[in-house]
Amino acid sequence: MKSKFLLCVNDGGFPESLEPRKFYRVVEDAAAIAEGMARVIDESGEDYMYPQSCFIEVPLSGAIEGRLEAD
């Protein structure tokens, strides 16, 4: 299954967990989305929910997606 990534545009008050201008792997979570949240693998290596306003979805080329998948 292909992963989805979101670009962090602000740390939302969580500077130890999110780094602006960095892509984060999304964990699909319909309940989080319904609450205006995004569940991502953060700097701790675990998945947590953050406000969707911390991220934007950016179209990525296949080469970039492949590179992010490899990390």
Any alpha helices (H) in 29-70, and if so which ranges? 30-34, 62-70
- Summarize pLDDT for 4-22 with one digit per residue, the tens: 999 999 999 999 999 999 9
CATH code of the domain in which 42 resides: 2.30.30
Domain region containing 15: 5-70
Q: What is the tally of structural domains in the chain?
A: 1
The whole-angstrom distance between residue 3's C-alpha and the CA centroid of its chain comes to 10
pLDDT of 3 over the 60 cut: yes
Question: Where are the strands (E) in the chain, listed by range?
Answer: 5-8, 23-25, 37-41, 47-51, 55-56
- pLDDT grade for 2, boundaries at 50, 70 and 90: low
Mean pLDDT of 37-47: 97
pTM: 0.89
Type of residue found at 16: E
